[in-house]
Amino acid sequence: MKQYPHLYIDGDWVEPLQPRHTELVDPTREEPFATVAVGGAADADLAVAAARRAFDTFSTYSVDDRIALIDRIVRAYETHLEEFSELIAHEVGIPVSNRAQVTGPAQHMRVAQQVLRDYPFESRIGSAIVRREPIGVCGLISPWNWPIQTGVIKAIYALAAGCTVVAKPSVNSAASGALLAQVMHEAQVPAGVFNLVNGSGRDVGDALSRSADVDMMSFTGSTTAGRQVSAAAAETVKRLCLELGGKSANVVLPDADLERAARWNIQRAFFNAGQSCHAPTRMLVHHSQVDAVTKYLVDEANRFRLGDPLDATTTMGPVVSEAQAKSIRNLIQSGIDEGARLVTGGTEQPDGLDRGYFIKPTVFTDVTPDMTIASEEVFGPVLAVIGYSDTDDAIRIANDSLYGLGGYVFGTDHDQARTVVNALRAGRISFNGAATDSYSPMGGYKQSGVGRSMGRFGFEEYLEVKSVYGFDEQAQALPATFS
């Protein structure tokens, strides 16, 4: 069994002040594969103190110095790609065939580096110099569904901005978090600049959120947990960047290529076993076309090869835990009980898999907007197909959600599609399955979050704004005023 007995604080591997550990269960084999150290509030306080001390020096590093640091981190990270891939297969059931989970983080590091290289830290507005400066110590809480990439995006943009960080990965993915700390250590990130404390949200996450020495909290996870972080952080009026839940709609217009829209929707919604905040889990189709699109959905859903994520031919692994599998099955049963038509999948264990937290790729049609599976985030491979009468009805259904993280539109009439795109209340919209861009911002409307990550907008989450007066030689000396 793998052992990860330490936290990473102030450049050293240390045991928790009250030594504790937890076992990580392999969701394919339903048995422990690793133990990891678990810290508490006192360990978080030590890490925050180390980050606070390091900030005074690190915040003065030149842009060139930070670019060079990111170079070292990328090089160190890329020596561990296979180790990361195998680890997250054991840890959270992500197939080794899903290379984006391990290659994506390096690409995000390079984007952050380019943003840093091109960023204007000083500009002028009238007679004022407007400066952008690192905000300070940042608490970073990342989830298990993108265990490396989400944590990397948070950390690399914070470091690029000149901030110091205390990272808390999900307990479910604490082993890959420890490996990321090893990468930072090998890259010779200065002591105290990057710290990692495993632990629960109730202990470590709450301590970071409440700490007066933490200037900013970046959290990715459920909307419920995001509310808790927000409430705790409000005590010290710190900045928040939250990426929370989603129930994204894919509006398939009547003139769309139905087969293309259907197959793409299944692949995007069921990617990562459906454990993705941006998954298009509501597919909106004109009432007259639901039957026509269903055959493509069923065929594409049945093409997934479920099995051991360490097998390179597997395209869908298990969900992360027994509790997650139970929650998904309960929601599938609610769809059946509330009258939706189950066209493929269901609550049973997939054929040929006698153990593991596997969920059959599941598609419902005849779903109405008031059904549970149409409103709650399932976070599993479950698609709800909802019929609409006209474009206005489709927009109304799509926007009738607490969430507004992502949105998707398929069609051939660009003017009509643009009208729908502009009307959707969501932070990131894709037309006809277009790929996203790591330079552009990601974030949500409504209860899907606050703030943005990635690219220039994500970089600025880690910067404060300072206006400076009196250094413009052309400006007249005016009486000082205060506000």
Give the CATH number for residue 240.
3.40.605.10
Give, in degrees to the nearest 5, the angle at Cα 297 between 296 and 303. Answer: 90
Contacts of 308-311 with CB under 8 Å at 24 or more apart are 308/28, 309/28, 309/89, 309/93, 309/94, 309/95, 309/96, 310/28, 310/86, 310/89, 310/90, 310/96, 311/95, 311/96
- Whether the Cβ atoms of residue 170 and residue 147 lie closer than 8 Å to each other: yes
Report the distance separating Cα 459 and Cα 154, nearest Å. 9
Q: What is the pTM of this model?
A: 0.95
Place of tokens 């090869």: 305
Q: Is residue 102 part of a domain?
A: yes
- Give the CATH number of the domain where residue 389 resides: 3.40.309.10
On whether both 130 and 184 belong to a single domain, the answer is: yes
On whether both 92 and 180 belong to a single domain, the answer is: yes
On whether both 31 and 127 belong to a single domain, the answer is: yes
Q: Is residue 70 part of a domain?
A: yes
- The percent of residues above 90 in pLDDT, for the chain, comes to 97
Q: Is residue 77 part of a domain?
A: yes
Report the distance separating Cα 153 and Cα 104, nearest Å. 10
On whether both 227 and 129 belong to a single domain, the answer is: yes
On whether both 35 and 65 belong to a single domain, the answer is: yes
pLDDT digits (tens, 9 = 90+) for 398-456: 999 999 999 999 999 999 999 999 999 999 999 999 999 999 999 999 999 999 999 99
Query: What's the confidence (pLDDT) of residue 480?
Result: 40
On whether both 196 and 103 belong to a single domain, the answer is: yes
On whether both 45 and 91 belong to a single domain, the answer is: yes
Query: What's the confidence (pLDDT) of residue 477?
Result: 44
Catalytic one of 91, 243, 377, 461:
243
> Is 243 considered catalytic here?
yes
Q: Is residue 408 part of a domain?
A: yes
Chunked mean pLDDT (size 10), the chain, 483 residues: 96 96 98 97 98 98 98 98 98 96 97 98 94 98 97 98 98 97 98 98 98 98 96 97 98 98 98 96 98 98 98 98 98 98 98 97 98 98 98 98 98 98 98 96 97 98 96 53 36
Count of structural domains within the chain: 2
Query: What's the confidence (pLDDT) of residue 473?
Result: 56
Task: Residue 59: give the domain boundaries.
Answer: 2-244+448-467
Q: Is residue 436 part of a domain?
A: no
Query: What is the DSSP-derived secondary structure letter of residue 453?
Result: B
Q: Is residue 479 part of a domain?
A: no
Place of tokens 């984006």: 100
> Is 277 considered catalytic here?
yes
E-strand stretches of 38-127: 122-125
On whether both 200 and 300 belong to a single domain, the answer is: no
Q: Is residue 474 part of a domain?
A: no
On whether both 216 and 275 belong to a single domain, the answer is: no
Report the distance separating Cα 204 and Cα 231, nearest Å. 15
In order, the DSSP letters of 254-308 are TTS-HHHHHHHHHHHHHGGGG--TT---EEEEEGGGHHHHHHHHHHHHTT--BS-
On whether both 240 and 262 belong to a single domain, the answer is: no
Query: What's the confidence (pLDDT) of residue 363?
Result: 98
On whether both 168 and 277 belong to a single domain, the answer is: no
On whether both 385 and 453 belong to a single domain, the answer is: no
Catalytic one of 138, 163, 241, 277:
277
pLDDT digits (tens, 9 = 90+) for 93-152: 999 999 999 999 999 999 999 999 999 999 999 999 999 999 999 999 999 999 999 999
Q: Is residue 442 part of a domain?
A: no
